[in-house]
């Protein structure tokens, strides 16, 4: 009971930054294209893994290149992303991509406030793989 109370007191963003303490599985999902089908597949995969391994899995979605569209503030999958964040899934957005978009269009897209800004998406994937995460690119 105290563990649940302590978890409730930890801000949502902080919970998504660290894997669950008893995570026996660690998964990084790569999203590098803008296909809505791929976005839905990422969301579906994360949901399925949370269901299959409740409280035993750490999931990090890394979006770069055209894949960053999933993490736009007013994107069509915003509710699904926010729901996954509430369940402990972390979403990383490549700031190299965002900076490129800003140079090309004159402004940076507004991002989901739950998205964690990382300098480079591929570097983030390499870091996670180095920590034992399994890379899946649906």
Structural domains for the chain: 23-136 (3.40.1260.10)
Distance CA(118)–CA(62), nearest Å, equals 9
pTM: 0.86
Please write the tens of the pLDDT for every residue from 87-138: 999 999 999 999 999 999 999 999 999 999 999 999 999 999 999 999 999 9
Please write the tens of the pLDDT for every residue from 49-77: 999 999 899 999 999 999 999 999 999 99
Distance CA(97)–CA(27), nearest Å, equals 22
Q: Is 106 left (phi over 0), alpha (psi -120 to 50) or beta?
A: left
- 10 Cβ neighbours under 8 A, 6+ residues apart: none
Distance CA(95)–CA(108), nearest Å, equals 10
Buried b (16+ CB within 10 A) or exposed e, 52-84: ebeeebbbbbbbbbebbbbbbeebebeebbeeb
Name beta bridge partners: 27: 59, 134
């Amino acid at each position: 009971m105290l563990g649940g109370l302590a978890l409730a007191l930890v801000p949502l963003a902080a919970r998504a930054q660290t894997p669950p303490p008893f995570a026996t599985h660690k998964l990084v999902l790569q999203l590098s294209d803008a296909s809505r089908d791929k976005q839905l597949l990422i969301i579906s995969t994360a949901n399925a893994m949370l269901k299959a391994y409740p409280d035993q899995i750490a999931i990090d979605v890394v979006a770069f290149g055209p894949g960053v569209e999933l993490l736009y503030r007013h994107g069509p999958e915003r509710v699904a992303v926010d729901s996954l964040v509430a369940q402990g899934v972390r979403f990383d957005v490549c700031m190299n991509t965002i900076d490129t978009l800003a140079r090309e269009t004159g402004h940076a897209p507004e991002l989901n406030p739950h998205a964690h800004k990382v300098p480079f998406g591929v570097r983030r994937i390499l870091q996670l793989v180095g920590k034992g995460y399994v890379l899946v690119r649906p």
